[in-house]
Amino acid sequence: MCELYSKQDTLALRRKHIGPSCKVFFAADPIKIVRAQGQYMFDERGEQYLDCINNVAHVGHCHPEVVTAALKQMELLNTNSRFLHDNIVEYARRLSATLPETLSVCYFTNSGSEANDLALRLARQFRGHQDVITLDHAYHGHLSSLIEISPYKFRKGKDVKKEFVHVAPTPDTYRGKYREDHADPAGAYADEVKKIIEEAHNSGRKIAAFIAESMQSCGGQIIPPAGYFQKVAEYVHRAGGVFIADEVQVGFGRVGKHFWSFQMHGEDFVPDIVTMGKPMGNGHPMACVVTTKEIAEAFSSSGMEYFNTYGGNPVSSAIGLAVLNVIESEDLQGNATRVGDYLTELLNKQKAKHTLIGDIRGIGLFIGIDLVKDQQKRTPATDEAQHVIYKMKEKQVLLSADGPHRNVLKIKPPMCFTEEDAKFMVDQLDEILTVVEEAIGARSESVTSENTPCRTKMPNEAHSELLSEGTSDPRENPSRKRNGLCTDKHSLLSKRLKT
Please give the residue ranges that form the binding site for ligand PLP (CB under 6 A).
111-113, 116, 139-142, 213, 217-218, 246, 248-249, 277
Checking phi first, is residue 133 left (phi over 0); if not, alpha (psi -120 to 50) or beta? Answer: beta
- DSSP conformation letters of 4-43: SS-HHHHHHHHHHHS-TTS--TTTTS---EEEEEBTEEEE
Shortest distance, CB of residue 216 to ligand PLP, whole angstroms? Answer: 8
> Phi and psi (nearest 5°) for 41?
-120, 150
Nearer to ligand PLP, 41 or 288 (CB): 288
Strand residue runs (E) in 269-332? 273-276, 287-291
Strand residue runs (E) in 69-169? 105-109, 131-135, 165-168
Nearer to ligand PLP, 361 or 463 (CB): 361
Nearer to ligand PLP, 140 or 194 (CB): 140
CB-closest chain residue to ligand PLP: 112
Nearer to ligand PLP, 213 or 431 (CB): 213
Nearer to ligand PLP, 410 or 463 (CB): 410
419-448 and 487-498 helices, crossing angle to 10°: 90
Tell me which H or E stretch contains 336. helix 332-353
Q: Which of 61, 491, 108 is nearest to 308 (CA)?
A: 108
Please give the Cα distance from 354 to 351 (Å, whole number). Answer: 5
Shortest distance, CB of residue 55 to ligand PLP, whole angstroms? Answer: 9
Shortest distance, CB of residue 204 to ligand PLP, whole angstroms? Answer: 30
Nearer to ligand PLP, 24 or 97 (CB): 24
What is the C-alpha end-to-end distance of the chain, expressed in Å?
Answer: 47
Q: Which of 374, 341, 384 is nearest to 360 (CA)?
A: 341
Return the amino acid letter for 233. Answer: A
Please give the Cα distance from 197 to 206 (Å, whole number). Answer: 8
Shortest distance, CB of residue 228 to ligand PLP, whole angstroms? Answer: 17
Q: Are 108 and 312 in contact (CB under 8 A)?
A: yes
Q: Which of 214, 322, 223 is nearest to 275 (CA)?
A: 214
Q: How many CA atoms lie within 13 A of 384 on its CB side?
A: 27
Shortest distance, CB of residue 328 to ligand PLP, whole angstroms? Answer: 24
Nearer to ligand PLP, 139 or 174 (CB): 139
Please give the Cα distance from 325 to 323 (Å, whole number). Answer: 5
Nearer to ligand PLP, 170 or 217 (CB): 217
Shortest distance, CB of residue 110 to ligand PLP, whole angstroms? Answer: 8
Nearer to ligand PLP, 52 or 429 (CB): 52
Shortest distance, CB of residue 118 to ligand PLP, whole angstroms? Answer: 12
SS3 351: helix
Instruction: Supply angle C-alpha 373, 376, 379, rounded to 5.
Output: 35
Shortest distance, CB of residue 279 to ligand PLP, whole angstroms? Answer: 11
Please give the Cα distance from 274 to 251 (Å, whole number). Answer: 10
Shortest distance, CB of residue 74 to ligand PLP, whole angstroms? Answer: 21
